[in-house]
A and B are shown apart, each in its own frame.
Chain A
Amino acid sequence: MIAWIDTLIQGLLLGGFFALSGLGLSLSFGIMRIVNIAHGDFLVMAAYLCLVVSSLTGMNPLLAIVVVTTLMFLFGYGLQKTILNKSIDGGELSPLLITFGLSIILHNVLQEFFSADAKSLDVGAFEVASLNIGQINIGWLPITIFFVSLVVYTILHQIVESTRFGMIVRAIVDDAETTSLMGINTKKINCLGMGLSMAIVGIAGTFFGIKSPFFPLAGGLQLLFAFEAVIIGGMGSIWGTLLGGISLGIAQSIGYRIGSGWGEFAGHLVFFLFLLLKPSGLLSKETSHV
């Protein structure tokens, strides 16, 4: 019994990370209709960025998150402005191919600069510190990631529901053409949207680098997890991605409990079952927007 409660809690917390990383992907699809194949590689790039920032300044990676998030926002804004905005004029396939190309370039650049060896972000004793409740040990790091994730979701929700920018974003998701008739330069909004998406990737990427060793090719698996969270939750729904991420985390956690080789498999299985039985995901577009 205790073991199962432990499994569920670990799964829930792991899910917090998937939800955070899935959110960046969910946003770029929701607002710009861009399926960002390089999502996982940007996540890894953010981890390397944090490595550079913290080794240059001596900052703890947990503090350096602020710098990384800001830089990633600017990166996302610039990427959309220079490359992606042009590609979305060429239909839905075009940004897919462009981000695929970016993914390959990023692999090579990261390998060139940082070699293929695994690196890690050091946050000292915090990484292994844990909260003990009876027989259950819960790491402070997963707890932190989970709550940061909830905070990011809440802030984003506030932005989307209660600001002028959020209103315009919802309008674009509904009908981009009519939004442009309102005098809105939708490409500029896209830039802010990609900036926001990459800022979240910056937070997720830093935590990724803290919780596990990373190397230039680590992004592929992270893209898959993020994608699974988005699909399970329902494409285009922000809160769906949170639920999807948590579902994926719990599935993996139960898998690991069955056997060490079964964790990821259990997650893929749940993803596959959703694709087969409920392709619209937990929260489809009807019950929630953006």
Chain B
Amino acid sequence: MLLEIKDLNAGYGEIKALFDVDLTLNQGSTLALIGSNGAGKTTLLRCITGLIKPNNGYINFNGDNIEGCKPHDIATKGIAMVPEGRRLFPSLTVEENLLMGMCNNREQEWTLEKVYNLFPALKVFRKKMATVLSGGQQQMVAVGRALMANPRLLLCDELSLGLAPVVVKDIYRTLKTVTKTGLSLIIVEQDINQAIVASDTFLCICEGKVVMSGTRETADRSLIANAYFGN
């Protein structure tokens, strides 16, 4: 098992956002994390990446307990994130944004060349500031930057937000080819269909609690929809 989370509780000061969350993820598989606005999806990813210190519970990644570790240490262990809203660096060019991904000094499998092969559209804009690109291209930069970190686990927070359906499809297709190399993935989406189709297992959270989990084959859309809205 690559990632195992048990009894995770976390929040923002007095506000509690996650209650006794359990999650497991195998090497090479993709997990969809679904839930409505404010369910706690982003909070869970921020716990995994060390941006939030959990109040209790544990997070085990690849044999190490990482709860409470610093974000840069966790990144170095092989977890990368495409954050909600992309969070590209506006003062950096496209290529520099991609190079930032390499700063964790993990052994190099991904290179600029490979990322440009994956997203040919980016190569033309490599010397341009990242912020002048279209939303879809910016998302490609964000994904490329995360891949450049050579992660074993990639977390994607609402990749589809604000993007045209064709672009979303394209990005997910690309991710699919990447997971063939053994990369594990957690994708966060509000769109239940989009998420389930792209994953092996799913976890539905509502108001900070896990309300349902299962595999793609056994997923029942109407039951999930009920869980999603907390019924």
Q: Chain A residues in contact with chain B, CB under 8 A?
A: 164, 167-168, 170-171, 173-175, 177-186, 289-290
- Asked if A182 and B103 sit within 8 Å, CB to CB, the answer is yes
Any A CB within 8 A of the CB of B100: yes
Q: CA separation between A285 and B96, bound complex, in Å?
A: 20
- Interchain CA distance A179-B81 in the complex, whole Å: 11
Asked whether, in the complex, the Cβ of B91 is within 8 Å of the Cβ of A182, the reply is: no
Indicate if the CB atoms of A174 and B51 lie closer than 8 Å.
no
| Cβ–Cβ contact A181 & B75, under 8 A | yes
Query: Could you tell me the distance in whole angstroms from the C-beta of A180 to the nearest C-beta in chain B?
Result: 4
Which residues does B use to contact A, with CB under 8 Å? 49, 51, 70-72, 75-76, 80-81, 83, 87, 89-92, 96, 99-101, 103-106, 145, 149
Query: In the complex, A236→B51 CA distance in Å?
Result: 26
- Let me know if B72 and A185 touch, CB within 8 A: yes
7 closest Cβ contacts across the A-B interface?
Answer: A183-B104, A183-B75, A180-B71, A289-B91, A174-B89, A178-B87, A170-B91
Q: A171-B92, A177-B51 are in contact. Are A183 and B72 (CB under 8 A)?
A: yes
Determine the distance from Cα of A178 to Cα of B145 in the docked complex, in whole angstroms: 11
Are A182 and B101 touching (Cβ within 8 A)? yes
With a CB–CB cut-off of 8 A, which chain B residues contact A182?
72, 75, 100-101, 103-104, 145, 149
The contact sample of 12 A-B pairs, CB cut-off 8 A, is A167-B92, A167-B96, A168-B100, A170-B89, A178-B89, A180-B72, A181-B72, A182-B100, A182-B145, A183-B75, A184-B72, A290-B91
A174 touches B103 (CB 8 A): no
Q: Does A181 lie within 8 Å of B89, measured CB to CB?
A: no
The answer for the CA separation of A178 and B96 in the assembled complex, in Å, is 14
> Do A186 and B72 touch (CB < 8 A)?
yes
* B105 interface neighbour in A168, A170, A181, A183, Cβ under 8 Å: A183
In-complex Cβ contact of B83 among A167, A173, A178, A186 (8 A): A178
For the complex formed, measure the closest distance between the CB of B95 and the CB atoms of chain A, giving whole angstroms: 10
Please name all residues of chain A whose beta carbon is closer than 8 Å to the beta carbon of B76 when the two chains form the complex. 183
Contacts of B89 in A (CB 8 A): 170-171, 174-175, 178-179
Chain A minimum-CB-distance residue to B87: A178
Interface core residue of A171, A178, A181, A186 (most chain B CB under 10 Å):
A181
Residues of chain A lying within 8 A (CB to CB) of residue B106: 183
